[in-house]
Amino acid sequence: MSLKNKEQDDQYSPPSRIHLEHEEESRNDFQQFETNDQCRPHARIHLEPQEKPDTNFKQFVIKKLEKSCQCSSTKARNIIFGFLPVLQWLPKYNLKKNILGDVMSGLIVGILLVPQSIAYSLLAGQEPVYGAVSNESTLLSQPSGKICDKSCYAIIVGSTVTFMAGVYQVAMGFFQVGFVSVYLSDALLSGFVTGASFTVLTSQAKYLLGLSLPRSSGVGSLITTWIHIFRNIHKTNICDLITSLLCLLVLLPTKELNERLKSKLKAPIPTELFVVVAATLASHFGKLNEKYNTSIAGHIPTGFLPPKAPDWNLIPNVAVDAIAISIIGFAITVSLSEMFAKKHGYTVKANQEMYAIGFCNIIPSFFHCFATSAALAKTLVKESTGCQSQLSGVVTALVLLLVLLVIAPLFYSLQKSVLGVITIVNLRGALRKFKDLPEMWRISRMDTVIWFVTMLSSALISTEIGLLVGVCFSLFCVILRTQKPEASLLGVVEESEIFESMSAYKNLQAKSGIKIFRFVAPLYYINKEYFKSSLYKKTLNPVLVKAAQKKAVKKKIKKETATLSGIRDEVSVQLSHDPLEFHTIVVDCSAIQFLDTAGIHTLKEVRRDYEAIGIQVLLAQCNPSVRDSLARGEYCKKEEENLLFYSVYEAMTFAEDSQNRKDIYVPNGLSFSSD
């Protein structure tokens, strides 16, 4: 429905585009509208709200329970397929089209995982056979000599943490709380990963130097570790240092070459595998451990340990730490899933992913495994090497199984410094985030600050506390943005019904006698005072004007010698015929998403104060939620509901017509006393 009545031309004329110029440092003077002598008629918009059915909470709950308890073959089929999607896609698997890509990508990723998995075992302070894929090594601290040695106890703690993380993830999936991932922004996750990378790099530095240092954990472990390193740097093993430098000189260029040529290469060059084989042979035949006392991987047993339940007595001690691991693992998995889903045109169900990652932790926890999640590097390799389905993961698992059963003992002479270098080289993606900071700063300074706060707190305090600090700071930034949002007066584009900020654009026209104010944020208890102060600053302070009027009345009463009642009448008449600069304020509510009780009271207070000095306040473009809040808060009486408008133009036209007809709304209570 058009808000402006125009006569239709017989011949169609194409609309002209509107071009707004941004305001520079100084604002140009704006021309005022020329008021017509005659009143322009306008049509008010009237919309009937949808009738909401009366809902009884008891009946609503019963209806929901009946619906959820209904059983049918279709519903059972959907539940099973939703819980086990492999039953849906596996029967439709195109063997000829997809099998080659799945086998190739599975083999390549399996080969890449062997040296990296052995390297990651150092992060958990464990034997290489346990090849960890998580960073919960800070939990493995106090061995119990009564039960088993340090390594044995650490594995028990790790598997217990894994079990609890999986339980949390399955519980979150059951209660449909996949939405928690929205609180982990890209900037926050990026900062967290970079901060955690510094922690990992610090933990591997001693292996590169061949130092034997006490293990540091908890708050400030990064700083403590570096203090230990510099205090003992004179004990550096020269052989380990030379090996580390040689591995770095080989791995870094070849990794970069892989990155640059990944579009041309059918498969990435497994550089880590070549380095591990060469280093193992050199260490074995050169007898580096015997001659130079280098630290080596040692005996790596083959086969599987019998399954064992997690230690239930440890659950109270690790329950809190498992929360952070479960949320991080889920967030990273969902983020990667959504990234590739957008690229390949499918959708991701966050709660289904929660179930998947949860059971991938619960079941392996009985087999001495560590917490797991998706990995960006491996996923990119899988995609670039032709992966088509989850069958690729089966092939990768078979490669690792072969290593565990047969090949593992061959890595006996491998230096730990080589594994440390492999770990550090694989952190380069996270550390390269520093190159993106100038671009991030240009796009969003707030996101850059969130990145820095999360990164520094994750690195300098601890990974768990760093994540919590990042989330809290992100939420604080959201609140901060709404605490002092943009507030401006609007002008109209010539020959249009478009209103924009006069502080942002040039050549906008201000309507004589009308101030149009826009507040770009929800109006609630945090920013209610800022709303008032901004409005008063852009227009005038009605409280001060009212006080000045009362003061003027008192002053005149004292000076005049006529009767008090006569003077009151005279002053009242004089003031009533002494108009202010404007007669109407239109509040553009299009950017106000919601109101709370404090916001409604603020609007009532503002309206009352302005009406006390003869200025009417009109609200325009309120969304249905805001209209409902105003209705429940009794902002308008029944006879005043026409003061809410569906557009700024409609409100402006109403105010214009009212003034031209001399039918301006006169507020109650405009009286003065001598007290």
Show Cβ contacts of residue 48 under 8 Å, excluding neighbours closer than 6 positions.
Answer: none
The mean pLDDT of 59-86, rounded to a whole number, is 77
Residue 32: phi and psi, rounded to 5, are -90, 150
The mean pLDDT of 81-88, rounded to a whole number, is 81
The mean pLDDT of 512-528, rounded to a whole number, is 91
Q: How confident is the model at residue 532 (pLDDT cuts 50, 70, 90)?
A: very high
Q: How confident is the model at residue 384 (pLDDT cuts 50, 70, 90)?
A: low
Burial 428-464 (b: 16+ CB within 10 A, else e): ebbeebeeeeeebeeeeeebbbbbbbbbbbbbbbbbb
Could you tell me which residue, 64 or 18, shows the higher pLDDT?
64
Q: Which helix (H) or strand (E) holds 423?
A: helix 416-425
Residue 648: phi and psi, rounded to 5, are -65, -40
Residue 34: phi and psi, rounded to 5, are -90, 120
Judge whether residue 637 has pLDDT over 80. no
Contact between residue 340 and residue 389 where contact means Cβ atoms under 8 Å apart: no
Q: How confident is the model at residue 317 (pLDDT cuts 50, 70, 90)?
A: confident
The mean pLDDT of 88-104, rounded to a whole number, is 83
Task: List alpha helices for 509-563, DSSP H.
Answer: 528-538, 542-559
Please count the CA atoms within 13 angstroms of the CA of 142 that sit on its side-chain side: 5
Convert the pLDDT of each residue in 407-419 to its tens digit.
878 878 888 888 7
Judge whether residue 83 has pLDDT over 60. yes
3-state class (DSSP) for residue 34: coil
Judge whether residue 465 has pLDDT over 70. yes
Convert the pLDDT of each residue in 130-175 to its tens digit.
657 333 333 333 333 444 566 677 788 888 989 999 999 998 888 8
In the chain, helix, strand, coil percent, each to 5? 60, 5, 35
Q: How confident is the model at residue 13 (pLDDT cuts 50, 70, 90)?
A: very low
Show Cβ contacts of residue 156 under 8 Å, excluding neighbours closer than 6 positions.
Answer: 147, 148, 310, 311, 314
The mean pLDDT of 377-387, rounded to a whole number, is 70
Judge whether residue 126 has pLDDT over 80. no
Q: Specify the residue for token string 């499918």.
A: 346
Residue ranges of domains in the chain, CATH in brackets = 86-131+149-480 (no CATH), 487-557+579-665 (3.30.750.24)
When mean pLDDT is compared over 11-20, 210-219, 507-516, 545-554, the highest value belongs to 507-516
SS (H, E, C) 262-315: CCCCCCCCCHHHHHHHHHHHHHHHHCHHHHHCCCECCCCCCCCCCCCCCCHHHH
Q: What is the DSSP letter of 37?
A: S
Percent of the chain scored above 90 by pLDDT?
A: 17
Conformation bin of residue 368: beta by default, left when phi > 0, alpha when psi is -120 to 50: left
Q: What is the DSSP letter of 32?
A: B
Q: Specify the residue for token string 């557009």.
A: 647
Of 249-253, 463-467, 491-495, least confident by mean pLDDT is: 463-467
- This prediction has a pTM of 0.70
Residue 588's pLDDT is what? 93
Q: Specify the residue for token string 């009362």.
A: 550
Judge whether residue 452 has pLDDT over 90. yes
Please count the CA atoms within 13 angstroms of the CA of 285 that sit on its side-chain side: 5
Q: How confident is the model at residue 586 (pLDDT cuts 50, 70, 90)?
A: very high
Judge whether residue 371 has pLDDT over 60. yes
> Strand 499-501 and strand 487-492: pairing?
antiparallel
Judge whether residue 544 has pLDDT over 60. yes
CA distances from 56 to 53, 62, 68, 280, 673 (A): 10, 10, 18, 73, 53
Could you tell me which residue, 267 or 624, shows the higher pLDDT?
624
- Which value, in Å, is the radius of gyration of the alpha carbons in the chain? 35
Contact between residue 195 and residue 221 where contact means Cβ atoms under 8 Å apart: no
CA distances from 1 to 5, 351, 573, 647 (A): 10, 42, 43, 12
Residue 343's pLDDT is what? 74
CA distances from 96 to 21, 388, 584 (A): 59, 12, 74
Contact between residue 531 and residue 523 where contact means Cβ atoms under 8 Å apart: yes
Residue 599's pLDDT is what? 92
Nearest Cα residue to 394 out of 96, 98, 78: 98
SS (H, E, C) 62-119: HHHHHHHHCCCHHHHHHHHHHHCCHHHHHHHCCHHHHHHHHHHHHHHHHHHHHHHHHH
Angle between helix 315-344 and 376-384 (nearest 10):
30
Q: How confident is the model at residue 423 (pLDDT cuts 50, 70, 90)?
A: confident
394, two tokens? 């089966």
